[in-house]
A = this chain, B = another copy of it.
Amino acid sequence: MTTRPPAEIGMPLEEVDTPALVVDLDAFERNLRRLPERISGSPVRVRPHAKTHKCPVIALKQMELGAVGVCCQKVSEAEAMVYGGVRDVLLTNEIVGRQKLERLMSLAHIARIGVCADDPGQVLALDEAAGKAAITLPVYVEVNMGGNRCGVEPGEPALDLARRITGARHLVFAGLQAYHGSAQHLRSWDARRQAIAQASQKAGATRDLLAGNGIACAAITGAGTGTFEFESASGVYTELQCGSYIFMDADYGRNLDRDGNPVQVFEPSLFVWATVMSRPTEDRAIVDAGLKALALDSGPPIVWDEPAATFERASDEHGRLAISTATNRLRIGDKLRLVPGHCDPTVNLYDWYVGVRANRVEQLWPITARGALY
């Protein structure tokens, strides 16, 4: 049921079958290096989020450049990482249910596994599962930084939950999960700066409240590709969870820098490689990449190789390009690169990365955590 790779090593890019998920290895490697470069001098650690790439090959490359481990959202993602050689995984998420807890504890026998909680019932269940597995599990309190998803409120509610963790026999309190997801795509630099200033204030005040009650926060973890420079300079955060920086996507590409220009710290390295399959009219071209090949939740992809074309509409298996000028190159059979609107759920649609350098296929990496839902 895993699809075969759409390419072979050594093949020219032009021959790679479509749709395929293509990584520009030069751009990807520049992105990989740029994150640690941008925070050099800061004491923060890097723990990239593996939900972006879903691929232990990439996780190990990040760790070679200094990352202390990875983050995951699901136990099955963590399994793919641990069995792929990653020995330190933080589940930046609440894990609920007997089967998931058993699998989590099984991983904790062979790797350092951290997990989050935002409810006393979860703490009880984690303690029981850790006790049965005869391990001591690091648990983080997830604090709501304003995204209003999971997480207890900062201050007293976080203290209450931290106390329950420290009081549990088979758990250790490991720190605060303080990711501010809804700040990542605020377009203006100053809006992101202010959002993270507020998050840092909440996280710092909570840390101080806990310290005043005899509970030390070994880690305050958060940050994403949109805001990591603020967290790294905050003096509060100790770990960065950026994921998308390795690939970028059209949505992150719309963030602005301090001068109001598109942020250019990282560059697009992930493309959906597609074929023009129909050219019914002068102003319309149809490509073979639709909802099954592209996540459209954060807007359409950018047509990277043809400025005269705009990705106008997707159906399940088709993408409709609007052609604005007669001076376009698009003929039936032509192939082109699309920059996905949102990288993480786009990656989840593929079984293979096709790594390309100088227009030749150099690497084929299996996306082993593709479909890792539970």
Q: Which residues of A contact B (CB under 8 A)?
A: 1-3, 6, 15, 17-20, 51, 73-74, 76, 93-97, 99-100, 118-119, 121-122, 144, 148-152, 181, 275-280, 284, 286, 288-289, 291-293, 295-297, 314-318, 320, 332-333, 342, 344-345, 348-351, 366-368, 370-374
Contact = CB atoms under 8 A, between A and B. Distances in A.
Contact of A97 (B18, B149, B152): B18
Contact of A284 (B97, B122, B148): B148
Given A149-B320, A280-B152, A316-B344, A1 B332 contact: no
Q: Is the interface of A mostly helix, strand, loop or mixed?
A: loop
Among A20, A345, A372, chain B packs the most CB atoms within 10 A around the CB of: A345
A331 to B, nearest CB: 8
- Nearest first, the 10 closest Cβ-Cβ pairs linking A and B are A150-B278, A1-B2, A73-B317, A96-B277, A291-B345, A19-B373, A17-B374, A94-B277, A3-B371, A17-B99
Number of copies: 2
Nearest to A152: B280
Contacts of A17: 97, 99-100, 374
Contact of A332 (B51, B122, B342): B122
A149 B286 contact: yes
Given A293-B373, A349-B371, A317 B122 contact: no
Given A293-B373, A297-B314, A97 B148 contact: no
Contacts of A94: 277-278
14 contacts: A1-B366, A3-B373, A6-B373, A18-B374, A20-B373, A96-B276, A119-B280, A149-B318, A150-B280, A291-B342, A291-B344, A296-B297, A297-B314, A349-B371
Contact of A119 (B119, B279, B315, B372): B279
Contacts of A349: 348, 371, 373
